[in-house]
């Protein structure tokens, strides 16, 4: 009993150390830009860099559109599969896993071959078109997370009965999805959204090969050429991810308490 507890604490301490020591070391290193004393100079340099602001702003914008696209595709699809075609669920689950198996670089080469300026669908001919293609690509990369999050959310409500209750009260599909289904899986959708955000903010391959001014290529560029700034950027990236996690935690408290679980 006593020994078991000791081991548990030791394991916990080892895990904590494994996790925190690199983080603390990075933080410490990022603050040593000015010789002899700790300072936030590296952060000032990074945050003051116009390219940081531009690429970060660009990636945030792209992630917002990616999330919108993902929600618009995944929520109705997952809902429809639960409602009308439950037998298709294993197939769809497999399809949504494909982006984890197929490397992004394969997808992006496919894009470049398919949508070049001489192709019937010349997405790559203009910057806007390329942005659009990037968003579509990101939505694909985020699909495994988004689909699972939404599907888990749908499991907590009695989709079929709620749909029928709304239908018999006169509601059409758009109303049912917007007023009943989406609000009840909103927390799940938001956690999917933050995961999407985290993926898009750090993504390098697609943005780089499509030559868009995103945050990922900027990170890579700084990392290859500077000493202290990459450490500061890493800490900032951690802060953003953790911020997202805490927002998910806070939001989940407001999840509607489901009173009509199917028994």
Partner 1 sequence: MADAFLNIQSVKNDYGATTVVQDFNLGVEAGEFVSFLGPSGCGKTTVLRIVAGFETPSAGAIMVGGRDVTNLKPNQRNIGMVFQAYALFPNLTVAQNIGFGLKVAGVPRAEANARVAEMLDIIRLPEFGGRYPYQLSGGQQQRVALARALAPKPKLLLLDEPLSALDAKVRVSLREEIRSIQKKLGITTVFVTHDQEEALSISDRIVVMYGGKAEQIGTPFEIYNRPATRFVANFVGTLNVLEGTVTDAAAGKVRVGESEIVLKQPLSDAKAGATLSLALRPEAISLGRRPGHDSSLSGLISDVSFLGSVIRIRVDLGKNAISLDTFNSPATPPPTVGDKAVVNFAASDLLVLAV
> Which residues lie near partner 1 (CB under 8 A)?
157-158, 161-162, 164-172, 175, 179-180, 183-184, 256-260, 262-263
Residue 188 CB, nearest approach to partner 1 (Å):
13
Residue with smaller CB distance to partner 1, 16 or 167: 167
Residue with smaller CB distance to partner 1, 34 or 179: 179
Residue with smaller CB distance to partner 1, 167 or 246: 167
Residue 172 CB, nearest approach to partner 1 (Å):
6
Distance, CA of 174 to CA of 251 (rounded, Å): 25
Residue 255 CB, nearest approach to partner 1 (Å):
9
Residue with smaller CB distance to partner 1, 225 or 261: 261
Residue with smaller CB distance to partner 1, 78 or 187: 187
Over the chain, what HEC string results? CHHHHHHHHHHHHHHHHHHHHHHHHHHHHHCCCCCCCCCCHHHHHHHHCHHHHHHHHHHHHHHHHHHHHHHHHHHHHHHHHHHCCHHHHHHHHHHHHHHHHCCHHHHHHHHHHHCCCCCCCCHHHCHHHHHHHHHHHHHHHHHHHHHHHHHHHHHCCCHHHHHHHHHHCCCCHHHHHHHHHHHHCHHHHHHHHHHHHHHHHHCCHHHHHCCCCCHHHHHHHHHHHCCHHHHHHHHHHHHHHHHHHHHHHHHHCCCCCCCCCCC
Residue 181 CB, nearest approach to partner 1 (Å):
10
Phi-psi domain of 36 (left: phi exceeds 0; alpha: psi -120 through 50; beta: other): left
Residue with smaller CB distance to partner 1, 29 or 173: 173
Residue 147 CB, nearest approach to partner 1 (Å):
22
Residue with smaller CB distance to partner 1, 99 or 192: 192
Residue 109 CB, nearest approach to partner 1 (Å):
44
Angle between the 127-155 and 186-202 helix axes, to the nearest 10 degrees?
A: 140
What are the φ/ψ torsions at residue 254 (nearest 5 degrees)?
-95, 5
Residue 158 CB, nearest approach to partner 1 (Å):
6
């Amino acid at each position: 009993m006593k020994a078991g507890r000791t081991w548990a604490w030791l394991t916990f301490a080892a895990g904590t150390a494994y996790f925190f020591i690199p983080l603390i070391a990075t933080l410490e290193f990022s603050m040593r830009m000015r010789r002899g004393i700790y300072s936030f100079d590296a952060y000032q340099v990074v945050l003051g860099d116009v390219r940081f602001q531009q690429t970060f702003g660009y990636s945030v914008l792209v992630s917002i559109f990616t999330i919108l696209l993902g929600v618009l595709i995944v929520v109705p699809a997952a809902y429809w599969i639960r409602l009308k075609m439950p037998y298709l669920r294993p197939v769809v689950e497999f399809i949504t896993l494909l982006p984890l198996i197929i490397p992004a670089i394969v997808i992006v080469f496919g894009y470049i071959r398919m949508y070049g300026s001489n192709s019937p669908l010349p997405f790559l001919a203009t910057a806007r078109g390329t942005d659009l293609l990037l968003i579509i690509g990101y939505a694909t990369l985020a699909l495994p997370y988004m689909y699972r999050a939404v599907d888990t959310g749908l499991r907590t409500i009695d989709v079929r009965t709620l749909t029928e209750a709304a239908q018999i009260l006169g509601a059409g599909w758009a109303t049912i999805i917007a007023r009943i289904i989406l609000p009840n899986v909103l927390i799940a959708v938001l956690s999917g959204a933050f995961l999407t955000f985290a993926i898009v903010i750090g993504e390098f391959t697609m943005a780089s090969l499509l030559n868009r001014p995103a945050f990922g290529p900027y990170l890579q560029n700084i990392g290859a050429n500077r000493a202290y700034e990459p450490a500061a950027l890493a800490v900032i990236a951690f802060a953003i991810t953790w911020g997202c996690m805490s927002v998910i935690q806070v939001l989940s408290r407001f999840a509607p308490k489901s009173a009509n679980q199917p028994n």
